[in-house]
Structure 1
Amino acid sequence: GVSNYYNKLKLVLLEKQLPFREEVVYPWQRDTYWDDSPLGKIPFLRTEFGGLSESQVILEYLEDAYPRHPLLPADAFERARCRELMQHLELNGEWVARRLYKQAFFGGQVSAETQDEVRNRLPLGLRAVAARARFAPYALGDAFTAADCAAICHLMMIQLATQAVFGEDLVQQHLPEAVDYLAQMASRPSVARMLADREQALLAFQALGVPYDG
């Protein structure tokens, strides 16, 4: 999939060793999956009980329904820390950088005002991530967790987007320890598969020549 939220869940499924089937859908096909995703957002999960949308909801469901190979820490406070880091990665990092994607990946243009806003706000989010992440060797320390599934996908996109639009890597500038972390994680089997599949999906989407609407 192209979506980093989709790929976050793909890593969860692969790490939990759960069987799953992928289906290619596009935003303009929303009429075919309203029942699974009430706002027509991707990703969504079809289960024997019905559809689920929102990546964090799906992640929590998979943890509850399939407790083998857990990706959330057993300790209550550490679980909260894991969720906190994912929130910072998504709300204060990826959602800020997302405003660049139209220009970074899909041939559009982003206004100078938007670029300035991202350049000013994104370092704050990355500093929040730095305050909670360890990257030693994983996002929260010794064990691979759901925070890694989020960090790998979102930080990679922030790197690519800021390099494409600004000509500089804001992750390297404001979260330098994550650069080696991402390089190391790229060789993990689940991550290597996700990255290869993402590249093919992105090329296929770009070939359609459809304007990106965020």
Structure 2
Amino acid sequence: MIKLCGFALSNYYNKVKFVLLEHGIPFEEVFVLPSQEETVLEHSPLGKVPYIQTEHGDLCESQGIVEYLAARFPDKAIFSADPWEAAKERELIMFVDVHLELTARNLYKEAFFGGTVTDATKGRVEKLLAHHIAGFKRIAEFGPYLRGERFSVADTAGFVSLPLVGMATQTIYGRDFLLDAGVDWKSYVKAINARPAAQRVTDDRKAYIAASRPA
């Protein structure tokens, strides 16, 4: 059985978990926090989560894991059978993961964890996100899903990461860059959360947050 290693607050862990749940792939969750300890580095070269453990060995990076699952379980149709649709799903995932979330991640230290981000970083991220969100709007359909009327694997990325972009920019700049650009991520997330797999991811994340609060 596949072991999914990480923790329920990680959006990339939840992206992989969503795929596994949505497609009925058996897996076991193993609680692991990011670490530079050798016990983690021997499985994940940068000490990040998620990673999976399989009979073939360890595999890290959420998109690499999703691609592996799609190849290992072709009957699950994780990506569209149509080559063009599958490519467009991958395009959307790249936009969400890299151009939006990883750009906004530069703000998280101050937005979510009580630290401080320099004004230079804030200025750079503001310009990048404005450019990247405009590009994202050109390819995302929100009808109600990222590819239109059909739920796809791209939505597993959108569901877990778009809220972070919106909340981080609201906290740092006093305005939600996505909502300001006409990307109604709140309605989108609500629609996705109606799916049982998404609801399970949400419930587990909320349970983790509740359990982590000081008594």
**TM-score normalised per structure 1:** 0.89
Q: CA RMSD in A?
A: 1.8
Aligned length: 207
Question: 3-state DSSP class of the match of 1:68?
Answer: helix
- Equivalence for 2:116: 109
More strand, by proportion: 2
Matches of residues 13-32 of structure 1 in structure 2 within 5 Å? 13-28=20-35, 30-32=37-39
Q: Give 1:29 deviation, angstroms.
A: 5.6
Question: 3-state DSSP class of the match of 1:2?
Answer: coil
* Counterpart code for 2:201: M
CA gap 1:93/1:179 in 2 versus in 1, 3 angstroms: same
CA contact (8 A) 1:11 1:191 kept: yes
CA contact (8 A) 2:34 2:40 kept: no
Deviations along 1:125-170, one digit per CA (max 9) or x if unpaired, are 1122111111112111232211000111110111121122222211
Which protein, 1 or 2, shows the higher relative CO under an 8 Å CA cutoff with sep ≥ 6? 1
- Structure 2: gaps spanning 5 or more residues: 1-7
Q: Give 1:176 deviation, angstroms.
A: 2.3
CA gap 1:107/1:28 in 2 versus in 1, 3 angstroms: same
Say if 2:168 is the partner of 1:161.
Answer: yes
2:196 to 181, 189, 194: 189
Deviations along 1:56-111, one digit per CA (max 9) or x if unpaired, are 11001111111233221111111111111111112211111001111121111112
- Structure 1: gaps spanning 5 or more residues: 208-214
Q: Greater shift after overlay, 103-112 or 29-38?
A: 29-38
- Equivalence for 1:64: 71
Matches of residues 33-72 of structure 1 in structure 2 within 5 Å? 33-72=40-79
**TM-score normalised per structure 2:** 0.88
Structure 2 Cα separation of the partners of residues 121 and 92 of structure 1: 8
User: Percent of aligned pairs with the same residue?
Assistant: 39
Matches of residues 81-120 of structure 1 in structure 2 within 5 Å? 81-120=88-127
CA gap 1:97/1:204 in 2 versus in 1, 3 angstroms: farther
